Structure 1
């Protein structure tokens, strides 16, 4: 589904004890991000291709077609070892994807650099 870009924060009323949240909530971002032209999808956890338990938490993994991976952002707080691992895996599995690293500067805010 296309992401909806708006400066109006969605308001949702959810009845206590239910998880009936309108899916549109997950597809809304501020207009400052509109240049991304982002698409998102929701997948149900029971349909995961693999489930790993790390530090007692279940991580649900889904196969994604290589052609769907266009851009990978590495967060500013990512360790060097994790960063290097991600770069190697992305270059091996999705060689046409761009890889960028997010940096934070107190003056200019968040910026990205191509790797």
Structure 2
């Protein structure tokens, strides 16, 4: 009886799918997660006009932080940030690993306060590990 249980357990372990080093527990790789993330981002255009907004008393809040009922929760980033990140990701997709590495390194250097910086650093680390 114990042998049958051991054989059954061994069979389930051997039948389990193998994951590569860049896969997460949820089954998606870093690159798939980055692609999904940039699809949800909204590029923010630089506006040269000045606007004024009236408000009510309370704590100070940026217009981007205010929740409006029915509004989709998007994460705006600057257009040039998003374009640079997409370019580096496209280089990786094309198989140009050195180009992608240079693109992500350039992104980190030129956009130190970006929301995408942690993702770019993680992609850089992943690319350096593949060397």
TM over 0.5: no
- The structure, 1 or 2, with the larger RCO (C-alpha pairs under 8 Å, 6+ apart) is 2
Q: Quick check: which one's strand share is greater?
A: 1
Q: Quick check: which one's helix share is greater?
A: 2
TM-score (norm 2): 0.25
TM-score (norm 1): 0.28
